[in-house]
Structure 1
Amino acid sequence: MEKFVQLVVDGLSTGSVYAALALAIVLVHSATGLINFAQGGMAVLAAYFAWWLTNQGLPLIVAILLSIVFSFVLGAAVERWLMRRFERGDPDTAIVVTVGLLTLITGIAGWLWSYNNQQFESLFPLDTVSFLGVSVSVRSIGTTLVIVAAMILLQLLFVRTKLGLALRAVAINPQSAAFSGLPVGRLLMVGWGLAAVLGAVAGALVAPRLTLTPGMLDNALVYALAAVILGGLTSPFGVVIAAWLIGVLENLAAVYVPFIGFDLKVAVPFILIFVVLLVRPQGLFGRKTVVRV
């Protein structure tokens, strides 16, 4: 029983990493209607910026706060000077552009700071807490709490604030939003900027668990996209639950399902996607889109 609980706890910790990126993807989609495949690269760039600032002698918390500001500016600039040229066209073209942007950002990070592994200081202590035979690191607890707070704030943003409602209106129908007097261009920049901020938080949380490299979040991005599909593109709450579910089931399947093991556990989220899409194409917590024709 202790082994089972330990696997669940470790899965929740890993799932929180996926959830951080998934929330940023949901934010961009809710604000622009696009899937941003460059989200992981932008998060890594923010983590490198914070790491560089710490090497200049700044305290870690100050470096992370400055990287958050840097990320907001970067996200807004990407929307204004790059994505805006494609947002009104074919969505598939815009998605391909984000894939190219991911490759570009990864290359820039490697060119500036090399592809060698770098150590990133953790925001939380490395101590562990033991309870009923289960060991949980303080870092995992802190990461999970930050993700829960981000999920709640994002849900409140889109449901309870005028800014969130305006972002949703722009994503659903930018032409009607413009006719209603909403500043569509500025709202799109804000949406991308806020998503980049979430990415910066994700990078700061993930980098200490791994080693800081340009491709640090490539695998996590795949799991984050799986969580978005499972949880639903319209539900911050849903993608976090889906990310936790993926992390837990992946751990349990690796240990308790012999033919899967640790080598094939990467297939677990894709099996879940297949099953869920057959039953609920909009995701576990997503809303159906009704189109009048």
Structure 2
Amino acid sequence: MGTFIQLLIDGLSTGSIYAALALAIVLVHQATGMVNFAQGAMAVLSGYIAFTFLGFGVPLILAILITVVISFFVGAIVERVLIRKFEQGNPDTAVVVTIGLLTLITGICAWLWSYNNQLFPSLFPNQTIALLGASVSVRSLGTIIVILAIMGLLQLMFVGTKLGLALRAVSINQQSAAFAGMPVGRLLMVGWGLAAALGAVAGVLVAPQLTLTPGMMDTALVYALAAVILGGLTSPVGVVVAAALIGVLENLAAVYVPFIGHDLKVAVPFILIFVVLVVRPQGLFGRKTVVRV
């Protein structure tokens, strides 16, 4: 039983890393209708910005807050200068642009800070507590709690605020939103800015666990996209649940399913994606799109 609890908690901790990035992807999609493949690289850039402030002796909390604000403006500028030129065009072109942006940001991070692993301090103490026979990291618990709080705030914003409703309206139909008097351009910038700020939070939460490198988020991005597909692009709650499910099932399968083991556990999320897409193409919590013809 202790082993099972340990695997469960470790899976939730790993899933929280995927969830942090998946929430930022959902936020961009809810605001613009796009899937941002550069979200992981933007989170890494934010991590390096915070790391630079720490090098100047800025306290950790203050460095993170400053980084979140800077990341908001970086995301807004990226949308205004680069992404806006492709938002009304072919969706495939926009996807390629975000992949190119991922490569560019990763290269910039490597150029400025090198590929060496950098130790990043954690917001939470590096201690463990005993829980039902398992050893639980305080840092992991803190990360899970922060992600759940962000999920709740995002869900509240999209459902219960004028900003959230406006962002959803713009993502569904920009022309109709413009005719209704909404400032579409500013809303798109705000959407990307908020996603970049959320990515900054993800970056500073993940960096202490993975160590800070330009490619820190590459693997996490794959799992985050899997969580987005499983949970649904329209549901912050859904992607967090899906990310937790991926983390837990991956751990359990590696130990309790002999033919999978640790070598093939990476296949678990893709098997889940296949099953979900066959049964429920919009994702576990996503809304089915109805098109009038």
TM-score normalized with structure 1 length: 0.99
RMSD (Å) for aligned C-alpha atoms: 0.5
Q: How many Å apart are 1:134 and its aligned residue? A: 1.1
Number of corresponding residues: 293
Deviation string 1:101-125 (CA, Å, 9 cap, x unpaired) is 0000000000000000100000000
Q: How many Å apart are 1:211 and its aligned residue? A: 1.1
Q: Which runs of 5+ in 1 are unaligned?
A: none
Give 1:32-47 correspondences, 5 Å limit. Answer: 32-47=32-47
Q: How many Å apart are 1:179 and its aligned residue? A: 0.5
Q: How many Å apart are 1:135 and its aligned residue? A: 1.0
Contact 2:5 2:133 (C-alpha < 8 Å) held by counterparts: no
Give 1:5-154 correspondences, 5 Å limit. Answer: 5-154=5-154
Name the CA distance, whole Å, in 2 between partners of 1:244 and 1:238.
10
The 3-state SS of whatever aligns with 2:57 is coil
Aligned counterpart, 2:214: 214
Amino acid across the alignment from 1:199: G
Amino acid across the alignment from 1:234: T
Name the CA distance, whole Å, in 2 between partners of 1:285 and 1:250.
21
Deviation >3 Å, runs of 4+: none
Deviation string 1:1-60 (CA, Å, 9 cap, x unpaired) is 110111001000100000000000000000000000000000000000000110111001
Name the CA distance, whole Å, in 2 between partners of 1:20 and 1:13.
11
Amino acid across the alignment from 2:100: G
Contact 2:5 2:132 (C-alpha < 8 Å) held by counterparts: no
Contact 2:23 2:151 (C-alpha < 8 Å) held by counterparts: yes
Contact 2:72 2:197 (C-alpha < 8 Å) held by counterparts: yes
Q: Which runs of 5+ in 2 are unaligned?
A: none
Name the CA distance, whole Å, in 1 between partners of 2:106 and 2:70.
17
Q: How many Å apart are 1:204 and its aligned residue? A: 0.4
Q: How many Å apart are 1:226 and its aligned residue? A: 0.2
Amino acid across the alignment from 1:124: F
TM-score normalized with structure 2 length: 0.99
Aligned counterpart, 2:278: 278
Name the CA distance, whole Å, in 2 between partners of 1:256 and 1:267.
15
Amino acid across the alignment from 2:13: S
Aligned counterpart, 2:246: 246
Name the CA distance, whole Å, in 2 between partners of 1:127 and 1:256.
28
Contact 2:76 2:192 (C-alpha < 8 Å) held by counterparts: yes
2:2 is the alignment partner of 1:2: yes
Aligned counterpart, 2:181: 181
Name the CA distance, whole Å, in 2 between partners of 1:263 and 1:71.
36
Deviation string 1:124-183 (CA, Å, 9 cap, x unpaired) is 000111022111111001000000000000000000000000000000000000000000
Name the CA distance, whole Å, in 1 between partners of 2:228 and 2:132.
33
Deviation string 1:201-225 (CA, Å, 9 cap, x unpaired) is 0000000001100000000000000
Name the CA distance, whole Å, in 1 between partners of 2:34 and 2:23.
14
